[in-house]
Each structure stands twice: as C-alpha cells, then as structure tokens.
Amino acid sequence: MLGVPFTSILASASVAADDAGPVLETVRVSATALDEDPWNIASSFSIVDGRQLFQRTQATLGDTLAGLPGVHADTFGGGASRPVIRGQSGSRIKLLSDSSSLLDVSDISPDHATTIEPLLIKKAEILRGPATLLYGSGAIGGVVNVLDKKIPDARPENGLEGSMAVRGASAAREKAALVELTAQAGEHLVMHTEGAVRDAGDYRAPALGSPGGRIEGTYARAGNAGVGLSWVADSGYLGLAYSYRDEDYGLPGHSHEYEQCHPYGSVLHCGSHDEDGEDHDHDPEHEAVPRVALLNKRVDLRGEIHEPFAGVERIRLRANHTDYRHHEIEADEISATFLNEGYEVRIEVQHAALLGWRGVSGIQYSNTKSSVIGAEAFIPATKSGTLGLFVVEHYELDGAWHFEAGLRQEWQKYRPSNDSYGRPKFSDSATSLSAAAIWEVAPEYFLTLSTARSERLAHVQELYARGIHLASNTYECGLMPHTLTCGGVQNDAGLKVETSNNVELSLRKSTGDLTFSIGGYYNDVEDYIYARTLDRFEDFRLIKYTQQDARFMGLEVEASYRFGAGISATLFGDYVRAELAGGGDLPRIPAARHGSRIDLNAGRYRAELEYYRVEAQDDIADYETVTPGYDMLNLSVSYSPRDHTGYSVFLRGSNLLDEQIWNHSSFLANVVPLPGRSLSIGMRLAF
C-alpha cells in the first residue's frame, strides 16, 4: 500500500524549485467537461504524473493509486487490484483510457485484473463527486482516467522523442522495463511504438509466523506492446492505435475443499465435510495454486478538431474495440473462461460562450457480448447495450463565482442467451443531475458546494449471478428472484434503480507557503445494491446481491507548509463511514487513515519521508471480522541532473517497519497479507 503522494491541489500544479524560486506549471484535467483549469473544478480530484508516478508505480492500477485522498485498493494478491474510492468499488468506479471505457471484466470480481499497464501511464486523473456523471451511471463512486501516449496528439520536438526505463523491487523480486518512441513520419504523420514487460514472483510478507516466507500465488507477469499513427495539424488530430496485453498471475487464498459448497435456501452446505468439520474427500495433490492467463487486444480511435465552425470550440472523438479473454486455470485445466468483446463510441461537442455559459454536450454508446464458459459459469452469456446523452454547463460571475450544472440520461439493455435457467432480458433507464458553486472567498481561497442526484443501473453480475466462483471463494446469487438465481431471499420491493443523493463541501487554498484542501461529503443512497453475505464456511461465502438504503459520509484533509525553498511538510488523512439505513455496516469499507510527510528538495536531489497510520476496522458487516490496524513508514530519494540530459534515478523503501498488513477492503482480508518491507530502485532516460 502506498501513502498519499501529494495534496490533491498541489497535484494539479508541478512545483519546480530553482534559483529564481518556485514556478507553477499549468496542468489541465482532461476528464472534466472543459479540460479546464483545476481551480475551476467543482469535484474533488487528484493527479499523479511524472516523477512521482514513476517512483510509485506498482504491478496493478489499484496499488499504484492507493494512498491518494480517499483512494484505497481491493487487493487480490500481486496481480489484481482496482481502486476503492470513498468506500465504493467494482462497477461503481469507472476506469477509463483517455475518457474511453476499458471493456475488460475487472469490475465483475476482485480477482480479475485491469488491462492497464501502470508503467505506460503518462498521467492518472481521479475524480470524485458530481463531475463523474459525464461517464455513466456506473461512475457514482468515482472516475479514474488514465492518459497514455499511444496515439500522438502533437508533433514531437525535433521530430523524435522517447524514453526507456528499468526498475525492480525486492519484496516480489520484481523486474520491469519499458521502451517508447514517438517519431514524425511526414509533415502531418506521427508514429508511436511502445512496449513494457514485468516479472514479479511471489512476494514476501511477515505474516503467519513466517517473517522470511513468501505468499504462494502472489506472482504476476505481463507483457504489453502497442503501435499508433496520427495525422496531426494545428487545428487538431486524428489517430488510430493497436495495443496488446498478455498477462499471467496467481490466485492466492484458493481452496478446492469448497468445490462441493452450494446453497440450500439461504444456508451454505459444503458436502465434503461431515459433522465434525473434517474433510474426507479432499485431494492434497489438487492444491496447485490456480492462475489467470489473460489476453487483451484493443483498437483505439481518438481525434479532436478545434473551432471547426462558428459557435463550436472543439469536437472530441473517442472510440475503441476490445477483444478480451482470460482463462482461470486449476491443475493445468481450464475451470472457467471469461470473454468480452465490444465497442464504445463517444463524441463531445464544446460550444462557445452563449449568454455567459460555456459547456459540453455529447453522446456515448457501447455494445458488448460477454460470456463465462466452464464449470464456474456463474453468469449467463449476455449481450449488453448502453446509450447515454449528457450536457455540462459552466458560468462565471464577477470573477469570484463559478457555477456548474450537468444532466445525463442513460438507457441500458441486457439480453441473456442460451441460458438454462431462463433468466429474462432486462432494460431500464437512469437520469442523473448535478450542480455546484465555487466561491473565491479571498485571493486563492476557494469554497465549493456541490450536489448530485445520480441513478445507477444494475450490473449484469448483480442481476443474474448464480453459481460458484472459487477464485473469490464465493457462491454468488443475483438480484433476480431466487428461483432464477439463488439465495432464498427475495427483494420484497422488486428491482429498483439505485439512486445516490450526494452533497459535498470543501475549502482549499491553492498557492503560497500554506496550501490545504479540506472536504466533507454525505451520500444518501436509495436501494443501494451490495453483496450481502448470507452464510459463511471458513473463508467461503454465500452472497446474495441485495438492495437496501445506505449512507456514506466521510472527510478528506491535506495541508502542506513550505518552510523554505527546499523543505515542506504535509499532514493528511481520510475517513469514510458506510452503514445501512436499517442498521448494520456495509462490507469491506476501508479504515481511517492519517499521517504526515516531509519533502526535501536540494536541486538535483529530492527526498521524501512518509509515515501514516491505518486504524483497525471494527465497523464490520455480518460474517466479517475485525481487521487490525498498522503503521506504514516509507522513504524515497531521487537524483535528476540539472543539465537537461533527461535521466533520473530513484531508491524507495516501502513498509520499512516490516509491518504485518491486512487489507479490510480485500475479499482476502483474513487470508492474504500485503507485502512486507521492500526496496525499489529504478532509472528512467527520456530523450
């Protein structure tokens, strides 16, 4: 797990100290409607890029971003991890590649990896709050927009640019490298090629009484390649890219003794066990660690044109076609194959000022065919289609006030096919609205109030699940009546659209020796869909997707003070409380986190010392157990020459106290610990 890299406000402006003093470099947030100045963004946001991103890159996207304000990770060994934002996870967190959906299956289960290679990320933007409605009903929790270089949008300086990097880490004996090159191939043609490899073994963790031991099944290996070609002019660009990812990673915490487990109503029966709980049918030779073999092929089309005609400032196009497949392999046999093939098209039109209002309107359409083949086919083959229309408008008043309003209408349809249970097709619509006001109460002090009413449509897994999924140690039952799925528990009021009523208040100061961001939020969710545990045997759960009103409330705080040109200190913390309206707590909610950091900048040398505390989580759902807290100490140093030769080196120590760490947000919270002490070293050369 990583600590907070830097405050969300300073993340939007890189501070470069030199003899003339600090200089603020303007950075835009492309995932917002107007690709706008960070100080005009009503939603809470964070940005990670450049040196900080390279030093903190991990094997998974979730681990790379964990530690940003309000961001945790639902870790599943060393190969799979998605961000958890303000207690929300799975399909409520929208993962984007330059504003375009991934179309993988990482939102179905925490053991499924994303198709993003962190080494190839140029910048990651994390949005929370009202601005997320631009990207659909599934983005109620937040949006993570990952920017890369595979489609050039500008001509390289001097006709050629690129970078090479290598890095390693001791906890998993990790070795990783990347090469990327962008070259001008004509007056308007620009080509980009890239490749990255990563090889990490089972990581070491000081758990289970074995300080020097490694956790079996936590290895991860991946290879990535991509090529892109763009036509670039002063008025915009249009480009096409092909990318390929091949990944193999282990599934820790898996046990074949649960193969015979099945529901009897709302009770879990595990047939291979007798009354004294002993296993008489278990074959020890069957215990080879299962793994996932993943293959993803993707074609992206991106383009922008500026001021094509009067009244329009920009038209932006994002489209992709994805062919995804992964095998879950046990004892050299494929137990399940997940397939997802589909496409998405998104067009945005930004209009010029009209009666003082500037804004963006657009359309988004996606179509996918997904299926699970094999003994663990717990969701039916399904054709899905989603259409969304959206508009977001901005208005400035007297220079001190900034207003924002947004609307999104979405239609969704699921059609199961060849389903032996006869689960019916499902269609519904959702309407989401947002409004916000930013007031510059004093120079560089911004007070923001935002509110949103967002409707979320159920995910295919939440609707139709019926069957065992050994990789996550669950037997899953969907929202549909139990005669069509399982679980023996009806949703008395029938299926309803999940509706989130969110309000957020924040105060931030953007420049000067003292900078800070303080924000609180309250989210009242009607008919919240969650995986309710009905019964449990050892580490195996019977879960039923259920709707019940819920409340989320939280606080995120960061404050930094610069003592001089070369030293600054930061205090940070975040907290989220999630509970059901009728009493009880929601599962896998991150514990409170607070800490401090000292940054030193001595020209070519930089250092960062960071400490934070994650408290014990004792607000637990049914069948959960208390997760103990831990202390985290990290130290990093880096060197970058000032002669613009373009190379940098770093050394980073993580979990220097070698703490035993259990992640409450993980399905494996009591089974698989996080890595112990680790030393990372890396070098990057840009030209």
Nearest by Cα to 623 from 581, 586, 661: 586
pLDDT tier, 202 (very low <50, low <70, confident <90, very high otherwise): very high
pLDDT, tens only, 410-431:
999 999 998 888 899 999 999 9
Q: What is the pLDDT of residue 280?
A: 42
Q: Is residue 3 part of a domain?
A: no
pLDDT tier, 146 (very low <50, low <70, confident <90, very high otherwise): very high
pLDDT tier, 207 (very low <50, low <70, confident <90, very high otherwise): low
Query: Does position 9 have pLDDT exceeding 90, yes or no?
Result: no
CA dihedral 447, 452, 458, 461 (to 10 degrees): 0
Q: Mean pLDDT across the chain, nearest whole number?
A: 89
Q: What is the pLDDT of residue 22?
A: 38
- Contact 498/527 with Cβ under 8 angstroms? yes
How far is the CA of 393 from the CAs of 346, 405, 415, 431, 603, in angstroms?
Answer: 18, 5, 35, 17, 43
Average pLDDT, stretch 121-127? 94
- Contact 140/131 with Cβ under 8 angstroms? no
Q: Is residue 435 part of a domain?
A: yes
Percent with pLDDT over 70 in the chain? 90
Q: Is residue 112 part of a domain?
A: yes
pLDDT, tens only, 585-643:
999 999 999 999 999 999 899 999 999 999 999 999 999 999 999 999 999 999 998 66
Measure the CA–CA gap between 513 and 510, rounded to whole angstroms.
Answer: 10
pLDDT, tens only, 29-45:
777 767 666 666 777 78
Measure the CA–CA gap between 328 and 100, rounded to whole angstroms.
Answer: 27
Average pLDDT, stretch 258-274? 80
Measure the CA–CA gap between 96 and 530, rounded to whole angstroms.
Answer: 23
pLDDT, tens only, 287-318:
678 999 999 999 999 999 999 999 999 999 99
Q: Is residue 4 part of a domain?
A: no
Query: Does position 238 have pLDDT exceeding 80, yes or no?
Result: yes
Q: What is the pLDDT of residue 275?
A: 44
When mean pLDDT is compared across 285-289, 373-377, 507-511, 630-634, the lowest value belongs to 285-289
β-bridge mates for residue 446, sequence order: 440, 508
- CA 300, 305, 309, 312 dihedral sign is positive
> How do strand 142-147 and strand 123-128 relate by DSSP bridges?
antiparallel
Query: Does position 273 have pLDDT exceeding 50, yes or no?
Result: no
Measure the CA–CA gap between 532 and 550, rounded to whole angstroms.
Answer: 13
pLDDT, tens only, 326-353:
999 988 899 999 999 999 999 999 999 9
Nearest by Cα to 204 from 190, 214, 191, 192: 214
Nearest by Cα to 39 from 568, 504, 506, 407: 506
Average pLDDT, stretch 655-669? 95
- CA 542, 545, 548, 553 dihedral sign is positive
Q: Is residue 304 part of a domain?
A: yes
Q: What is the pLDDT of residue 364?
A: 97
Measure the CA–CA gap between 493 and 10, rounded to whole angstroms.
Answer: 47
Choose the most confident range, by mean pLDDT, from 1-10, 14-23, 97-106: 97-106
Q: What is the CA radius of gyration of the chain?
A: 24
When mean pLDDT is compared across 24-28, 239-243, 558-562, the lowest value belongs to 24-28
pLDDT tier, 259 (very low <50, low <70, confident <90, very high otherwise): confident
Q: Which domain holds residue 582?
A: 10-201+213-247+256-686
pLDDT tier, 365 (very low <50, low <70, confident <90, very high otherwise): very high
Measure the CA–CA gap between 358 and 365, rounded to whole angstroms.
Answer: 24
Q: Is residue 67 part of a domain?
A: yes
How far is the CA of 171 from the CAs of 70, 174, 486, in angstroms?
Answer: 26, 8, 42
Q: What is the pLDDT of residue 645?
A: 65
pLDDT, tens only, 526-570:
999 999 999 999 889 999 999 999 999 999 999 999 998 899 999
- Contact 249/80 with Cβ under 8 angstroms? yes
667 Cβ partners below 8 Å, 6+ apart? Answer: 74, 76, 110, 111, 472, 473, 474, 588
Query: Does position 286 have pLDDT exceeding 90, yes or no?
Result: no
Query: Does position 24 have pLDDT exceeding 60, yes or no?
Result: no
- The CB density around residue 195, as the number of other CB atoms within 10 Å, is 18
Average pLDDT, stretch 386-413? 94
Strands in 265-400 per DSSP E: 267-270, 291-309, 312-330, 333-354, 357-374, 381-397
Q: Is residue 206 part of a domain?
A: no
pLDDT tier, 264 (very low <50, low <70, confident <90, very high otherwise): confident
Please give the distance of CA 350 from its chain centroid, rounded to a whole number: 27
- CATH code for the domain of 591: 2.40.170.20
Choose the most confident range, by mean pLDDT, from 18-27, 62-71, 319-328, 390-399: 319-328
Measure the CA–CA gap between 412 and 414, rounded to whole angstroms.
Answer: 7
pLDDT, tens only, 153-188:
999 988 999 999 999 999 999 999 999 999 999 999
Query: Does position 373 have pLDDT exceeding 90, yes or no?
Result: yes
Q: Is residue 453 part of a domain?
A: yes
Query: Does position 486 have pLDDT exceeding 60, yes or no?
Result: yes
How far is the CA of 412 from the CAs of 91, 434, 497, in angstroms?
Answer: 15, 21, 12
Q: What is the pLDDT of residue 7?
A: 40
Total domains in the fold of the chain: 1
Average pLDDT, stretch 432-456? 94
**Angle of CA points 478, 479, 481, to nearest 5°:** 100
Q: What is the pLDDT of residue 617?
A: 98
